[in-house]
Each structure stands twice: as structure tokens, then as C-alpha cells.
Amino acid sequence: MNPYLKTYLLKYPCHELVDEIKFLYHSAMGGGHLVSDAPKSLARIEQEIDPQRGYEIVKEDVNDRLCHVHFGNLNPVQARVLNRLFIASAKMTQPDPARLKASLEELKQSKGPEDQKAIDAYIAKGMPMVSHSATFREHYHPAYRLVHKVWMHYFDLFEAIEEALLTQQRTIIGIDGCCGSGKSTLAGYIQDLYGIEPIAMDDFFLPIAKRTPARLAEVGGNVDYERFVQEVKQPLQAGSEVCYRIFDCHLGAFNGEHHLPEQTVYVIEGSYCMHPIINDLYDLRVVMTIPREVQRERILARNGFEMFPKFEKVWIPMEDRYLEACNLMAEADFIYDNSCEKGED
């Protein structure tokens, strides 16, 4: 039996066959069937909120990627976050009818003749979405949405973003931390949820002409912070259009420009983005961490054995010195240990 379904059935013993089918449907087909437009989707969540219940949000795995997010009471910001996560998850989940049918055929093997006939009839109907049984609803009063479970790790950050957008036209977020800790990965999640383009500090790698011994001895000197201030920080503070040159560290030269559209959420991600000269730009500051052994594994997998000595002897010590000297942990609004996720720098 599907291990996720097995756990589900143990948690909810008062159920019927249709509830098992519904779980398998979510696992294979996602939640796109419930999304017509964002305001209506949010209104449905608000209708399901129970003010008599607590604010606890419970995650329940459906498969390796998706989870049910159960809720009782939600404040308005939490409802907006859950709705955003639900809609984005639905858009990003590719329905897999073949997988659903295979799961149903597997389920049949554990059932008696009557349930087997019911499953065959359901397959013959084209495997439509089904509702929970009256038995399940009576015992458990289900209220949940289907979400990519990795996003739930950052739910409090998304709450802060939504809260900020209620009172201001835009919010600016800095994501810093050690290499391999998942800074780019988190920026990508925000990009998926808010339809924005992040700014990568990799584009501000220090040009060769500036790599003097004195500059590299500076805390945080391994980034072209002067150019960042001129091409990104000052335009953002002035409310102007942002257009910056892209430094290609492989070419050792500038390679194109990035014209950033006007956005409600701006994300600057990468090592040294919270440099003291830059740090007052942000409304929200995030620091990503990972254990050293996990960092080593990720760098080896991403950059290979040939590049690893450069990281180990040069870049990681420079980052460590910067993180400690600038006291980034104390500066951060959010700190995430990303050791369980396959994060990219």
C-alpha cells in the first residue's frame, strides 16, 4: 500500500473508500481542480475558517512533494499566504492520470469484491474529483489546502511579506548566508509565489582589477558593493528603474545588463548582500545556515572536486569572517537551517 495513504488511514480511522480515493487523487493530480481565480479561492478559505478553533496550522504529507495544510482559525494574513501557496502549488503540479490509475489498481488489491467494483466504476467514469464522505466530515471537520510542502518551512517569512504589502507598496528582502545554504533556492520560491525577478549578488562579483590584497583583506570585500550601491541600492531608494550590469565571473568581464521591472517584492540574494554599506536597504533580512558537512556535500555535488579547494581555502573562510564580523545572525529577521533541503547557493 502507498505508505502515505497508510499513514493517512491510521490517522483517520473513521473513513470510507471515497476518502481513500480522494487522497490518491490529490497525490497524483494535485489541487488545480479547485482553483478558478484567486479572490474566489481566498473567499472559500475564509468561509472555512472556524473562529472557535486555534490558530494551529498542521502539515500532513500526501507524497514526496505535496502536503495537506490543515487549518482551524486563521488571521487575514495567514489566509492570504495559504491561498497564495495553494494557487502556486496547483499551477506547478502536473496532473498524472496514469499514476492515479496505477495507485487505484494497487488499492484494489487490498479490498474486497464490493470495493473493487466501486474502484473499477470510478476508473470507468474517468477518475473525477470526489468529495469526502459524510462519515469523514462528521468526525474530522476537514479544512485544508494542498501545498508544496517545502514552502511551509518558510510560512512565517511569507506572512511577513504579506503583512508588509498591506501597508506599503513594496517590500525589499535580503537573503544572505554561507555558500550552499539555499539562498538562491529560497529566492526562487519567492519568485514563483510573487512573479518577481530576484537580484543575484553573483552578478556583482569583484572584478579582477579591484582584487587588490587590501580589498580582499576587507570584511565583505569580495563583492563589488560600490557598483551595487550605484546600480541597485540608490535606484531602489529613489523609486527609479533598476538596470545593472552583469559581471560574468567565468569570463572575467561584464556580460549584458539586467533591466528589472517594477515589482511589489524585491529580493536580493547571495553572500555579502547584507554588507554594512547595503544592509539598511532591506525591510526583511533572512540568513540561511547549514552544517559544515552538508555544505561540503553540496559544493562537491554542484561544483566538483576541482573547484572545492578554492571554496575550502578561500571563499568559505572569507564568508565565515564576514558572517561573524557583521553579526548577521543578530541582524536577521529570519534564520533558516536548510540542511534537509537540496539548496542552491
Per-residue confidence (pLDDT) for residue 273, from 0 to 100: 98
Give the residue-averaged pLDDT of 265-294. 96
Note whether 178 and 144 are same-domain residues. no
Per-residue confidence (pLDDT) for residue 33, from 0 to 100: 63
Using the 3D structure, point to which of 152, 178, 207 is the last residue of a domain.
Answer: 152
Statement: residue 96 has pLDDT above 90: yes
Note whether 148 and 238 are same-domain residues. no
Note whether 43 and 172 are same-domain residues. no
Query: What distance in Å separates the CA atoms of residue 344 and residue 298, rounded to the nearest whole number?
Result: 8
> Hey, which bits of 261-297 come out as E strands?
265-269, 284-289
Question: Is 157 a member of any domain?
Answer: no
Note whether 213 and 314 are same-domain residues. yes
Burial status of residue 187 (CB atoms within 10 A of its CB: 0-12, 13-18, 19 or more):
buried
Question: CB of 84 within 8 A of CB of 193?
Answer: yes
Question: Is residue 343 very low, low, confident or very high in pLDDT (cuts 50, 70, 90)?
Answer: very low
* pLDDT, tens digit (0-9, with 9 covering 90-100), for 119-175: 999 999 999 999 999 999 999 999 999 999 999 999 999 999 999 999 999 999 999
CATH code for position 213: 3.40.50.300
Q: How many domains does the chain have?
A: 2
Residue 256, amino acid: G
Question: Is 158 a member of any domain?
Answer: no
Note whether 121 and 260 are same-domain residues. no
Note whether 13 and 83 are same-domain residues. yes
Question: Is 343 a member of any domain?
Answer: no
Question: Is 147 a member of any domain?
Answer: yes
Domain extent at residue 216: 168-337
Per-residue confidence (pLDDT) for residue 95, from 0 to 100: 93
Question: Is 7 a member of any domain?
Answer: yes
Statement: residue 300 has pLDDT above 80: yes
Using the 3D structure, point to which of 152, 178, 206 is the last residue of a domain.
Answer: 152
* pLDDT, tens digit (0-9, with 9 covering 90-100), for 17-65: 999 999 999 999 998 666 778 999 999 999 999 988 888 899 999 999 9
Per-residue confidence (pLDDT) for residue 271, from 0 to 100: 95
Query: What distance in Å separates the CA atoms of residue 319 and residue 29, rounded to the nearest whole number?
Result: 43
Using the 3D structure, point to which of 123, 152, 181 is the last residue of a domain.
Answer: 152
Percent of the chain with pLDDT over 90: 82
Note whether 35 and 101 are same-domain residues. yes
**pTM of structure:** 0.91
> H helices of 195-338, where?
213-217, 225-228, 234-238, 292-310, 316-325, 328-331
Note whether 211 and 329 are same-domain residues. yes
Three-state secondary structure call for residue 126: coil
Question: Is 118 a member of any domain?
Answer: yes
Note whether 110 and 255 are same-domain residues. no
Give the residue-averaged pLDDT of 200-213. 94
Note whether 106 and 236 are same-domain residues. no
End-to-end Cα, the chain, rounded Å: 38
* pLDDT, tens digit (0-9, with 9 covering 90-100), for 241-277: 999 999 998 888 899 999 999 999 999 999 999 999 9
Give the residue-averaged pLDDT of 9-21. 98
Note whether 176 and 143 are same-domain residues. no
Query: What distance in Å separates the CA atoms of residue 308 and residue 27, rounded to the nearest whole number?
Result: 39
Mean pLDDT of the chain: 93
* pLDDT, tens digit (0-9, with 9 covering 90-100), for 222-240: 999 999 999 999 999 999 9
Question: Is 163 a member of any domain?
Answer: no
The values of phi and psi at residue 190, to 5°, are -65, -35
Question: Is 314 a member of any domain?
Answer: yes
Question: Is residue 341 very low, low, confident or very high in pLDDT (cuts 50, 70, 90)?
Answer: low
Note whether 187 and 128 are same-domain residues. no
